[in-house]
Structure 1
Amino acid sequence: MADAHVLILGPPGAGKGTQSSRIADRFDVEHVTTGDALRGNKDMDISDMDTEYDTPREYMEAGDLVPDAVVNAIVEEALSSADGFVLDGYPRNMEQADELEDMTDLDVILSLDVSRGELVDRLTGRRVCDDCGTNFHVEFDQPEEDGVCDECGGELIQRDDDNEESVNNRLDVFEDNTAPVIDHYRDHAGFVEIDGEQTPDEVWADIEAAIDERI
């Protein structure tokens, strides 16, 4: 099943990263994220795009948003070299969704549905290892020792953008830009809405069944 083309959508905190990793392992496909694709192609020559900088690295080092045209080109490159994939974190807006339709066909589109209140609880309670990046939660996924990563012993911190004000702003941006993308895909034959407020294992069971049924 190495040719499965899966798109996973949902707001910040819905569990896309966790479930994408399980999809990649179970169905032997590549986990393609915008962040990883950018980091993997940060020295890509984009001088022909008439952009401010000539490589994605320059945008990232300047702390500027990478333009959609550059993100589109990098995602297209990542997808073209993958026999199968689960795409996570793209498209973030309708312009990107239109570009994606020109890049590839999708077999399954998973939309993780989680209420705003639950998302705020998840994100404000998240703690991240400052060394290895492993995620924990003050309520749902506590480490064995308070403030210490189970994986590497590093310090657990709260990300700057995981405070309540920042979280609500991120969710507002999602509602404005990405929620219309989900509505756009609802008529697609492979679209499946998943209850993201279940336990991670229950969410995974629904995802696995949905992909098995459509591939």
Structure 2
Amino acid sequence: MAAPRILILGPPGAGKGTQSSNIAETYGVEHVTTGDALRGNKEMDISDMDTEYDTPGAYMDAGDLVPDKVVNAIVDEALSQADGFVLDGYPRNLEQAEELADMTDLDVILSLSVAREELVDRLTGRRVCDDCGTNYHVEFSPPAEDGVCDDCGGDLIQRDDDNEESVRNRLDVFDENTRPVIDHYEGDDAFVAVDGEQTPDEVWADIQDAIDARVE
């Protein structure tokens, strides 16, 4: 099998990170995320782009959003260096989707669908160890002792952006900006809708079937 070029889409809480890791391990491809790509190219010279700062890291250090044209260039660079990939977290809008079409061809476009209230339950139930960063969920993967990390004994906290108001706002932003990207890809032969409300193993089985059917 050739190294597949895969795009995975879905709202926050749909399980993209988990399934991207499965894809990367099973098919031997790079897991490319915008966050990792930005961190890996913080010192990239963008002085020719007529931007406020000369490196992506300067935007990040200032707490400012990195402009789309810089993100596009960094993703392009990351994909050009990868022998197959699963792209997670990009494109976030239709303009980025158009840029991606100029960067590469996609073998599989996966879209994980999960109902909004299920996403709210998943995200608001997440707890993170304040010491080691291990993730738990009050319903799906609780610690042995309530509020205490199994790994290091640290306190489990709810991150500020996992409260219900923040979660619903994040989902609103996704619906406004990224939902049109999914609509844009739906007619593509590479597009596969996956029921993200199944168990993680069932979702993974569907994803494997989709990849194996489309990549020789």
Band the TM-score falls in, shorter-chain normalisation? over 0.9
Q: d(CA) in 1 for partners of 2:133 and 2:212? A: 31
> Does the CA contact (< 8 Å) of 2:127 and 2:138 recur in 1?
yes
- TM-fit CA distance, 1:61: 1.3
Q: Give the corresponding residue for 1:155.
A: 155
> Does the CA contact (< 8 Å) of 1:2 and 1:29 recur in 2?
no
> Does the CA contact (< 8 Å) of 2:3 and 2:27 recur in 1?
no
State the TM-score, normalized to the length of structure 1: 0.96
Q: Give the corresponding residue for 1:129.
A: 129
- TM-fit CA distance, 1:152: 4.5
Q: Give the corresponding residue for 1:3.
A: 3
RMSD after superposition: 1.3
Aligned residues: 215
Asked if 1:103 is matched to 2:103, the reply is yes
Q: d(CA) in 2 for partners of 1:136 and 1:153? A: 13
Q: d(CA) in 2 for partners of 1:76 and 1:7? A: 14
Q: Secondary structure at the match of 1:136?
A: strand
> Does the CA contact (< 8 Å) of 1:2 and 1:28 recur in 2?
no
Q: d(CA) in 1 for partners of 2:152 and 2:23? A: 25
Q: d(CA) in 2 for partners of 1:48 and 1:142? A: 49
State the TM-score, normalized to the length of structure 2: 0.95
Q: d(CA) in 2 for partners of 1:44 and 1:152? A: 37
Report which stretch shifted further, 55-64 or 108-117: 55-64
- TM-fit CA distance, 1:156: 2.5
Asked if 1:143 is matched to 2:143, the reply is yes
Q: 1:128 to 1:27 in 2, by over 3 A?
A: same
Q: d(CA) in 1 for partners of 2:78 and 2:126? A: 29
Among all aligned residue pairs of Structure 1 and Structure 2, give the percentage whose two residues are the same amino acid. Answer: 80
Asked if 1:189 is matched to 2:182, the reply is no
After superposition, give the CA deviation of every residue in 1:40-60 in whole Å (9 maximum; x if it has no partner): 111111111111111111111
Asked if 1:62 is matched to 2:59, the reply is no
Q: Give the corresponding residue for 2:21.
A: 21
Q: Give the corresponding residue for 1:214.
A: 214
Q: 1:106 to 1:133 in 2, by over 3 A?
A: farther
- Name the aligned partner's letter for residue 32 of structure 2: V
Q: d(CA) in 2 for partners of 1:6 and 1:65? A: 26
After superposition, give the CA deviation of every residue in 1:4-23 in whole Å (9 maximum; x if it has no partner): 00000000000000000000
Q: d(CA) in 1 for partners of 2:91 and 2:18? A: 18
> Does the CA contact (< 8 Å) of 1:2 and 1:83 recur in 2?
no
Q: Secondary structure at the match of 1:95?
A: helix
> Does the CA contact (< 8 Å) of 1:32 and 1:87 recur in 2?
yes
After superposition, give the CA deviation of every residue in 1:58-110 in whole Å (9 maximum; x if it has no partner): 11111111110111011111100000000000000000000000000000000
- TM-fit CA distance, 1:197: 0.5
The unaligned stretches of length 5 or more in structure 2 are none
> Does the CA contact (< 8 Å) of 1:5 and 1:105 recur in 2?
yes
